[in-house]
Amino acid sequence: MKAESHSHAIGCCDHADRSGRLSWLFTGSAFVIAAYAGDLLYPDNPMAAEISAVIGALLLAAPIVWSAVRDLFRGELHMDAPVAIAVLSALALGDFRTAGIVAFFMLLALVIETQTAKGAHGAIEALIRLTPAMARRILPAGKSEEIPASALVVGDRIRLLPGDSVPADGELILGQTTLNEATITGESIPRDKGPGDQVFAGTQNLTGAVEVRVSRIGEETALGKVRELILAAEQTKLPITRIIDQYLRYYIPVVLTLAAAVWFFTGDWNRVIAMLVVSCPCALILATPTAMVAALAAAARNGILVKNVSDLEGAARINAVIFDKTGTLTLGELGVARLAPVADISPSDLLEWSGTAEKFSKHPVAVALRKLAEQTGLLLGDPEAMEETAGRGVTAQVAGSLVQCGRASWLRELGIQDPRLDAAESGDSAVYSTLFVAKDGQYVGWIGLEDQVRPEAAPALRGLVDLNIRKIAMISGDREAVTRMIADRIDCPEVQAECLPAQKVDYVRHIHAQGYRTAFIGDGVNDAPALAAGDLGIAMGAAGNDIAIHSATVALMNNDLMRIPYLIRLSRDARAAVYQNLAVAGLFILGGLILSGISWLPPVPAAIAHNLGSLIVVFNSARLIRIEHAQTEKTP
């Protein structure tokens, strides 16, 4: 026969039938209360009170004893065995009131523990229930039919009306709407969606009637992967949990030996019963899993997927954070940072000429010019005779003038020679991706573009400093001048520029070799080796991105960098909760054994003390669910 810890993380007894247990609890407690009432009201007729006590004790003891007997026949010895022995001992001694009260408090605490701890699991299961049961599939004739969401296949077109939950991942193909994506990304602000945008299962359509082409169904959706990863993470164990499990196999024999020794020397069954009741290590077994499940639920609700519970615990020990630049600290989108016209030319003229010439180009530079023109209210006309030379620039007729935009070397090849062009190329423009502009053969200025810094980048780094992260660094394959300019803007103290992917890995390993616990944050697509090299790899923007989800140990479902300090803070709070829980559990068990062994703690107070320890552990863990992600600050 083998001694084992709980087969579940919650409670001491079997948890299969909560409603049945509640029925036993209320019925049995009514008989026990009636017994005490009979003692007070009918002292001359003790038989009725005694019968009521017997019935109540048997009803309350039955679930506990049955669970222990069933485990015994399975060749297992679970942690509810001492309680079952204690209750049977009280019954055998004829102390039915004690047996009933002890069993009552054990079952009552079990119900409370289960319902409280279920809040953490409920936060996770709530994610799973978000996908609707039905969907409106559009038929070839244009009409729609209601079908089970499980019957959808990739390629189906579905119609979403305001208030609908999205049944599958897909691409919006018709209409405009606003979606609440908090369930996937953790973002509370709804996002506007138009044709070509992705939509995710489990999100809510708020405004428009739209059509979506299904791209992923079932477990392949972003929500399905969230569920899969969370459930897998729940099954993993921390090292401290494995140590507890290893030593618990010796626990029951030791407790039974101590109880037998106390009975041998004192002959006091009340001491033995109290020791057996207080020794049940529910609080000890609940200490770690309740805290970690609550932390996993809090992380998931805030758009953070943790693949392994040990990674969640390990985040608490991180003291070095390394960021990739492009797409992580920056948006990965070019934006106009500077308009530098020559004398006698206005910035708006420079933008109008270049923006019009580039109007029909799909190059990121052209997109940035059009965006700035739109933001400033500048109307761009249509160019004439536009010609785009790949990798070099654009030539177009703009309002009767020849406008040429591109590299400085290309303008020279076109015969444009100007000392101001040479000076600009080697001067201030060196820190930008630069577009040089000529009009009618004359150089008229340059436009500096740069990858836009995420607005929350600087606050996120300040948050890491507040958490006493000892080393914060940015690494990039970009030019030194550009990388340092970004670093200065967000107050990043250390910079590594012009690095190849292999050099990024070497740098992460170098920091680790110096004794740091490192976290590397990247986009999960180009940074997979560096993500794997760190103690913790965190991929940004994993919603709908399978590569990002699978390449890192932690996946952020959105691109909010404020999740990084939040994750570390949550991990530290979870670790502290585990240590607090273990201390409480150890104190209640050790103190209870000593006090009951010297007859200072009778059986009924022992049951209350045992339950109090378990409840403290569960409630202490449950508070982690309420830890919220801080709102992104605005950069100064």
CA 188 to chain CA mean position, Å:
15
Residue 204 makes CB contacts below 8 A (sequence gap 6+) with 163, 164, 165, 166, 179, 180, 183
Residue 589 CA to residue 606 CA, distance in Å, equals 10
CA 299 to each of CA 120, 290, 311, 316: distance values in angstroms, whole numbers, following the listed order: 11, 14, 12, 14
Residue 579 CA to residue 385 CA, distance in Å, equals 72
Q: Which residue type, as a one-letter code, is found at position 87?
A: V
Is 324 an annotated catalytic residue?
Answer: yes
Residue 350 CA to residue 359 CA, distance in Å, equals 14
CA 17 to chain CA mean position, Å:
30
Structure token digits, residue 338 = 């500077």
Question: Which residue, among 83, 53, 56, has the nearest Cα to 71 in the 3D structure?
Answer: 83
Question: What DSSP string runs through 270-322?
Answer: HHHHHHHHHH--HHHHHHHHHHHHHHHHHHHHTTEEES-HHHHHHGGG--EEE
Residue 528 makes CB contacts below 8 A (sequence gap 6+) with 547, 551
Residue 206 CA to residue 160 CA, distance in Å, equals 10
Structure token digits, residue 596 = 């009951």
Residue 104 CA to residue 621 CA, distance in Å, equals 24
Region class of 267: left (phi > 0), else alpha (psi between -120 and 50), else beta:
left
Please work out, in degrees rounded to the nearest 5, the angle formed at the alpha carbon of residue 288 by the alpha carbons of 284 and 291: 125
Local structure of residue 561 (DSSP, 8 states): T
Q: Is 83 helix (H, G, I), strand (E, B) or coil?
A: helix
Structure token digits, residue 555 = 């996946």
Residue 474 CA to residue 484 CA, distance in Å, equals 9
Question: Which residue, among 500, 499, 505, has the nearest Cα to 520 in the 3D structure?
Answer: 505
Residue 506 makes CB contacts below 8 A (sequence gap 6+) with none
Question: What DSSP string runs through 170-185?
Answer: EEEEE--EEEE-HHHH
State residue 334 phi and psi, 5-degree precision. -70, 140
State residue 404 phi and psi, 5-degree precision. -125, 125
Q: Of 324, 418, 523, 535, which is the active-site residue?
A: 324
How long a stretch of residues is the chain? 636
Torsion over CA of 250, 283, 621 and 29, rounded to 10 degrees? 140
Local structure of residue 558 (DSSP, 8 states): S
Measure CA of the first residue to CA of the last residue in the chain; give whole Å: 67
Local structure of residue 154 (DSSP, 8 states): T
Catalytic residues: 324
